[in-house]
Amino acid sequence: MNVHAAALAKAHRFDDRTSAFAHDVLEGLSQQPRRLSPKYFYDVAGSELFEQITLLPEYYPTRTELGILRDRGAEIANIVPAGAALVEFGAGSTTKVRLLLDQCNFGAYVPVDISGDFLNAQARALRCDFPALGVYPVTADFTAPFALPAAVKAMPKVGFFPGSTLGNFEPFEACGFLRSAREILGEGAQMIIGVDLEKDERVLYDAYNDAAGVTARFNLNVLVRINQELGGNFDLKAFTHRAIYNRERHRIEMHLISRKAQTMRVLGRSFSFRAGESIHTESSYKYSVGRFVALARGSGWKPTASWTDTGGMFSVHALVASE
């Protein structure tokens, strides 16, 4: 944390999480081009907006991945060792994991997420619906090393990382995450991972510029959080949502664009924006099957199966930890 953020955190009696947010916001807004991490979209309001996004007609990834998991469930069940522990990195809606739990014979489920309250509520619901399953939530940042619960140590491990969340990592971060997951899950582990595919640019554009404006509200929610949690004075009407496809880098980029020249204040610091200046808030990388398979190979995993929908929109991959 920089000195300024540390002093302010002390003055404002921030908890550790808010201090990290304060630090990252001050640093990100000071960079050129300015940026904010997409991880800060997901407070309660942002998570609800994301759930709404997953139901939008333009946002194909969620329903397409669910279709693959449903249609290929028997094949996934064939690969997964009976009685294995399913370790999910990040825990949102349980719809996808329920599909796997219904179709495969898992002995335990370990959801890992930074938000302990949410995780425990999800765990309670799953224990009711799958009484024979051991459910062991772990409250941790899943991008950093964490220990698996003792109860699953002796079981074979299967990682689960759906939703193309991997696409929100820079390629070097994606490689780092895959390597760390391999360390955490250990020798002989497997991984089931959902990855969004490159496609017609119009389809991608529409998925991140929905007609109902939910994605715009999701994007602007990071400024709402800065105002609420860090005493910022961002005028939400003075920033506009922009999502574009960057073909060279195979990624959707989300930006917040300043509609006019303006100066905003956060935690006692001023940030002056030119009209049209951007804050880059998210990248969502799109892969070909071949480029993802190469990334996995270079990150300690051997790809064993890749499934896509008939339209070639989304992919689900099975990986096994390489020796």
Binding residues for ligand AVI, rule: CB under 6 A, are: 53, 61, 163-165, 167-168, 208, 215, 282, 284
Helix, strand counts (H, E) of the chain? 11, 14
CA-CA distances (angstroms) from residue 274 to 50, 259, 314?
29, 8, 38
Block residue for tokens 């509520």: 121
In whole angstroms, give the CA distance from residue 273 to residue 259.
9
What is the rounded distance in angstroms from the CA atom of residue 162 to the CA atom of residue 68? 11
* Min CB(120)–ligand AVI separation in Å: 22
Measured CA to CA, the distance from residue 1 to residue 9 in angstroms comes to 10
Query: What is the smallest separation between the CB atom of 189 and ligand AVI, expressed in angstroms?
Result: 23
Q: How far is the CB of 168 from ligand AVI (least distance, A)?
A: 5
Closest approach, Cβ 50 to ligand AVI, in A, equals 6
Q: How far is the CB of 312 from ligand AVI (least distance, A)?
A: 17
Nearest C-alpha neighbor of 159 from the set 135, 123, 184, 127: 184
In 149-300, beta strands by DSSP E: 157-161, 190-196, 239-246, 251-258, 262-266, 269-273, 278-285
Could you tell me the smallest distance in angstroms from the CB atom of residue 93 to ligand AVI?
A: 12
Minimum Å distance from CB 2 to ligand AVI?
28
Nearest residue to ligand AVI on Cβ basis:
284
Q: Which is nearer to ligand AVI, 14 or 60 (CB)?
A: 60
Query: Whose Cβ is closer to ligand AVI: residue 166's or residue 184's?
Result: 166
Closer residue to ligand AVI, CB minimum distance, 90 or 107 = 90
Name the residue type at position 279. I
Residue 305 bridge partners (DSSP): 318
- The closest alpha carbon to 278, from 29, 30, 34, belongs to 34
- Residue closer to ligand AVI, measured from CB, 39 or 269: 39
Residue placing its CB nearer to ligand AVI in the complex, 210 or 277: 210
Among residues 34 and 217, whose Cβ is nearest to ligand AVI? 217
Its sign, for the CA torsion 90, 284, 235, 19, is positive
Which is nearer to ligand AVI, 92 or 232 (by Cβ)? 92
